Amino acid sequence: MIKILFVCHGNICRSPMAEFAMKDLAEKNNCEDKFFIASAATTNDDIGSDMYPNAKAELKKHGISFTPRKARRITRKEYSDWDYIVAMDNENILDLHYIMGGDPENKIKLLLSFSGVNREVSDPWYTRDFATAFNDIKIGCEGLFKGAAKWKNV
């Protein structure tokens, strides 16, 4: 099983959109049983909150289903639980290295790096541009899916 954790600042916009977009990709490729996919925050800012309504609306626009959830913060002891710890921006990368005490197994990556793009997924909490954030998330998830599926022979 391939274990993927998507991470952003508050776990209410980008990382849950990525979580459900990746679950949708796995389902559409009839291999959802080969993946365990979740999301988390690097901060305590929105712990316990559900996904932001605009993020939900963006997923609905693309026909991606989601379930109610509660934002949570990643913990250091989780490092060994995941094959991929996927961050949305460079601040998340720095925070993850701090939280985890480093990245000895090179698991922490920027989402868009899986699609060969060297940039961050902008935070729609600040930009209010959920469509652009989702499009970047989709591109990154597609690259990650292809690479992960090949790596684990899915």
From the list 8, 13, 24, 46, the catalytic residue is: 8
Of 136, 148, 131, the residue nearest 112 (C-alpha): 136
Q: Which of 13, 14, 46, 141 is catalytic?
A: 14
Contact partners, residue 103, CB within 8 Å, separation at least 6: 96, 97
CA atoms 8, 13, 18, 20: torsion sign: positive
DSSP-based three-state secondary structure for 126: helix
76 in active site: no
Determine whether 8 is an active site residue. Answer: yes
Of 89, 138, 123, which Cα lies nearest the Cα of 109?
Answer: 89
Question: Would residue 123 show up in a list of annotated catalytic residues for this protein?
Answer: yes
Quick one: residue 120, left, alpha or beta (phi over 0 = left, psi -120 to 50 = alpha)? beta
What is the Cα–Cα distance from 76 to 129, expressed in whole angstroms?
31
What backbone phi and psi angles, to 5 degrees, belong to 83? Answer: -80, -35
Question: What residue has token string 């920027």?
Answer: 110
- Pick the catalytic residue from 24, 89, 95, 123: 123
> What are the catalytic residues?
8, 14, 123
